[in-house]
């Protein structure tokens, strides 16, 4: 008799929770937040809290074991925004365990980092890491979820990321220690070149790509692109980005993904479902099996 243990993962990204009510761009004149506030005046017209709330309630019905969030909860890294995001994370935590990695907007400037890490600590380090360093690592059912931080303050013209050398060293060890489980790596930026403009890319993507390939990572979840994509990092590793959880524009509508991870005597399977909010409803438009043969079970 074949038995299966299934773990359900929901992926959300880039909700950009900022209202910035009462915040005037001129108070940041000459700084990065000046341009960020002006940009938000345009973008906030289609990043809607009502859309995010609808999606959050819909995800609740999917009964996940874990919700992973790949960054950009806020826009310009102000304390008021970070507080708003903390309230949303608390709402998610009532649905399931939450694992968060930061995005470039979360660590927008140096003063954003300490406050965000304090307010979001239980989600950034659900493993209880008192040192508050990345990678984070947590086992949920049959899956090891590993969180990387690619976020760092950048000049106003850049939204690039970096996974520092210490993280890469620790990542390799974690992947070796967790061999035999399904490994899911979380990062905000795409893990390989060519998935976004150079000014938004991961600086050391080649080093990360090498580790993912050497250690046979099964899949990577990321954000940053504000669109739904899936592709291969290498012959074995799959990657998925998920569109912004709050976007009301039709061509990049608010989205989530569900991954049902199962293992039986022949290996691993993942059923992947993409959910997209359309016209105050949610359309689940893609479901397919992603299979990995597990040689250790032969």
Domain ranges of the chain: 7-297
Question: CATH topology for 7-297?
Answer: Purple Acid Phosphatase; chain A, domain 2 (3.60.21)
Beta strands in 92-237 (DSSP E): 97-100, 136-140, 143-147, 182-187, 219-222, 229-232
Rounded CA separation 257/242 (Å): 7
Q: 223: which 2 tokens? A: 């954000």
Portion of the chain with pLDDT greater than 90, in percent:
75
16: nearest Cα among 80, 71, 75, 88: 75
Rounded CA separation 288/64 (Å): 18
Portion of the chain with pLDDT greater than 70, in percent:
94
**pTM recorded for the entire structure:** 0.94
Q: What is the mean pLDDT of residues 260-273?
A: 89
Degrees (nearest 5) of the Cα angle 202, 159, 227? Answer: 80
pLDDT bracket for residue 297 (50, 70, 90) = very low
């Amino acid at each position: 008799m074949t038995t299966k243990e299934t773990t359900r993962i929901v992926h959300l990204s880039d909700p950009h929770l900022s209202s910035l009510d009462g915040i005037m761009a001129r108070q940041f004149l000459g700084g990065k937040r000046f341009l960020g506030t002006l940009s938000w005046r345009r973008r906030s017209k289609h990043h809607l809290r009502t859309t995010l709330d609808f999606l959050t309630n819909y995800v609740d019905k999917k009964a996940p074991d874990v919700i992973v969030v790949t960054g950009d909860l806020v826009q310009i890294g102000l304390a008021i925004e970070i507080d708003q995001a903390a309230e949303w994370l608390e709402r998610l935590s009532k649905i399931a365990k939450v694992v968060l990695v930061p995005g470039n907007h979360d660590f927008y400037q140096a003063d954003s980092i300490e406050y965000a890490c304090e307010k979001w600590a239980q989600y950034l380090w659900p493993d209880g890491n008192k040192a508050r360093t990345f990678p984070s690592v947590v086992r949920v059912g049959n899956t090891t979820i590993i969180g990387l931080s690619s976020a760092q303050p950048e000049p106003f013209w850049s939204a690039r990321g970096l996974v520092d050398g210490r993280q890469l060293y620790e990542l390799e060890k974690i992947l070796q220690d967790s061999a035999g489980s399904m490994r899911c790596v979380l990062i905000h930026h795409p893990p390989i070149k060519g998935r976004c403009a150079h000014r938004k890319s991961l600086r050391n993507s080649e080093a990360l790509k090498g580790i993912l390939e050497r250690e046979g990572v099964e899949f990577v979840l990321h954000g940053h692109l504000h669109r739904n994509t899936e592709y291969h990092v290498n012959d074995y590793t799959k990657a998925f980005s998920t569109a912004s959880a709050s976007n009301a524009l039709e061509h990049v509508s608010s989205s989530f993904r569900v991954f049902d991870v199962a293992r039986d005597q022949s290996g691993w399977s993942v059923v992947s479902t993409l959910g997209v909010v359309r016209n105050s409803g949610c359309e689940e438009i893609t479901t397919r099996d992603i299979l990995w043969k597990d040689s250790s079970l032969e």
